Amino acid sequence: DAIDAVVLSGGSVYGLEAASAVTTWLGARGRGFQVPSSPLAAPIVPAAILFDLANGGGKDWGETPPYGALGRTACEAAGEDFALGSHGAGMGAIAGPLKGGLGSASIVSDAGLAVGALVAVNAIGSPVVPGSAAFWAAPFEIDGEFGAVPMGSPAGIAARAPFEETKLARTGTDQPANTTIAVIATNAALTPVEAKRLAIMAHDGLARALRPAHTPFDGDTVFALATGVVDLPEPRPRAVAALGALGADTLARAIARGVYEAEGIAKIVSYRDRYG
């Protein structure tokens, strides 16, 4: 029921080395499940990797891809403050027609329950309303965190082509090379079943922030973590439902922030390059 770290990385299959490096780094410091009759510790490190190999840039690394070193660097740099946008797992991400990135958001309920989201946005769907600069996540924005552009009433949006201004429209390919990977964390004490429900409900944040979402061309993953600091109030099912609703809203905000903070690369324009 307990884990030692979660890894989000770019690099597709090569990015798996980042997870391996994190596991080794933790094990060398005694973190993890103690192996019986052995000095070894076995860290529990779930991971998700996004596909960003076709976005240009130098990738002629031969037998020494950089992801192991990047994983170790991430361990050394772990902390509460970190860069958003074109950093970490969001470095090579693309979100529809725009540069994707690493996004984060959080909220604390009146009951003292905190929910935070971390996401690397690499989706086929667009994070913005066609024909405007408004994010689909605009109704959930707090304190102008991604530009404070009002959505308004996008009349006739249901009649717009579903792939308008998406990655599919930009590239013309149907390859399943899109992956939005995220972590939802809370300070609540949850059972594994309750944590799973939090992840399920938080998944709705993808559909609130991206259009279309959950397509055959997307491979999306949301991990749920609970630190167990705060007990859930009774009745527990209602409290879990409230957490899940906050999780979906918070993930939607994090997706928009990741795109808003990203910087353009090569021929992939950023949100602020396009809309100012």
pLDDT band at 231 (very low <50, low <70, confident <90, very high): very high
State mean pLDDT over 245-254: 99
Provide the percentage of residues in the chain whose pLDDT is more than 90.
Answer: 82
pLDDT band at 115 (very low <50, low <70, confident <90, very high): very high
Tell me: the pLDDT tens digits for 167-219? 766 655 556 579 999 999 999 999 999 999 999 999 999 999 999 999 999 99
Q: What confidence score (pLDDT) does residue 167 get?
A: 72
Q: What confidence score (pLDDT) does residue 172 get?
A: 54
Torsion of CA 43, 206, 137, 123, to 10 degrees: 90
State mean pLDDT over 59-85: 95
25/268: higher pLDDT? 25
pLDDT band at 148 (very low <50, low <70, confident <90, very high): very high
Q: What confidence score (pLDDT) does residue 152 get?
A: 74
Q: What confidence score (pLDDT) does residue 225 get?
A: 98
CATH 3.60.70.12 applies to domain 93-275? yes
State mean pLDDT over 27-50: 95
Mean pLDDT of the chain: 93
Q: Which of 150, 220, 155, 142 lies closest to 184 in space, CA to CA? A: 220
Q: What confidence score (pLDDT) does residue 276 get?
A: 86
Residues with Cβ within 8 Å of residue 224, at least 6 apart in sequence? 183, 184, 185, 186, 190, 195, 196, 198, 199, 202, 247
User: Could you state, in order of their start, the residue ranges of all structural domains in the chain?
Assistant: 1-78, 93-275
Q: What confidence score (pLDDT) does residue 99 get?
A: 96
Residues with Cβ within 8 Å of residue 139, at least 6 apart in sequence? 151
Contact call for residues 99 and 81 (beta carbons, < 8 A)? no
d(CA 79, CA 165): 36
pLDDT exceeds cutoff 90 at 89: yes
State mean pLDDT over 144-148: 97
Please name the amino acid found at residue 117: A
State mean pLDDT over 61-81: 96
d(CA 272, CA 276): 4
Contact call for residues 200 and 206 (beta carbons, < 8 A)? no
